[in-house]
């Protein structure tokens, strides 16, 4: 599995979540699923993890996302661009 990861801050979580759920770039058709994390101390801080079957699919979607300019219109404000990652290790305790 490969993942597209984004971390940033939104101005209003509830409004941003409504826009995220509307799926303006077609995440639901392209990906296998996603996880959304929300900061405990800052409720407007979000981390988004979108799962793809391959790094190629994740990279392709990343380009589609960046080209759509939806991040500039809807947020979140990103300190760094989205990255594609693969799991290197997983341990349960």
CA distances from residue 38 to 9, 17, 58, 64 in whole angstroms, order as listed: 10, 11, 22, 24
pLDDT given for residue 76 in this prediction: 84
Contact by Cβ (8 Å): 59, 15: no
| 69 occurs within a structural domain | yes
Question: Could you list the pLDDT tens digit for every one of the 93 residues in the chain?
Answer: 999 999 999 999 999 999 999 999 999 999 999 999 999 999 999 999 999 999 999 999 999 999 999 888 877 888 899 999 999 999 999
Q: Is the peptide bond before 76 cis (omega within 30 degrees of 0)?
A: yes
| pLDDT for the residue numbered 72 | 85
Does residue 19 belong to any structural domain of this protein? yes
Give dist(CA 55, CA 27) in Å, integer: 15
Task: Classify residue 44: in a domain, yes or no.
Answer: yes
Range of the domain at 59: 2-86
- The domain total for the chain is 1
Residue at 54 is within a domain:
yes
Check which CATH number belongs to the domain holding 63 and give it.
Answer: 3.30.70.100
pLDDT given for residue 38 in this prediction: 97
Q: Note whether residue 92 is domain-resident.
A: no
Residue 33: inside a domain, yes or no?
A: yes
């Amino acid at each position: 599995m490969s993942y597209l990861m984004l971390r940033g801050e939104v101005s209003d979580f509830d409004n941003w979540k409504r826009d995220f759920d509307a799926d303006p770039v077609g995440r639901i058709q392209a990906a296998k699923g996603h996880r959304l994390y929300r900061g405990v101390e800052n409720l407007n801080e979000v981390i988004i993890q979108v799962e793809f079957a391959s790094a190629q699919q994740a990279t392709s979607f990343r380009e589609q996302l960046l080209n759509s300019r939806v991040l500039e219109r809807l947020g979140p404000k990103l300190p760094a661009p989205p990255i594609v990652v693969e799991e290197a290790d997983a341990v349960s305790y």
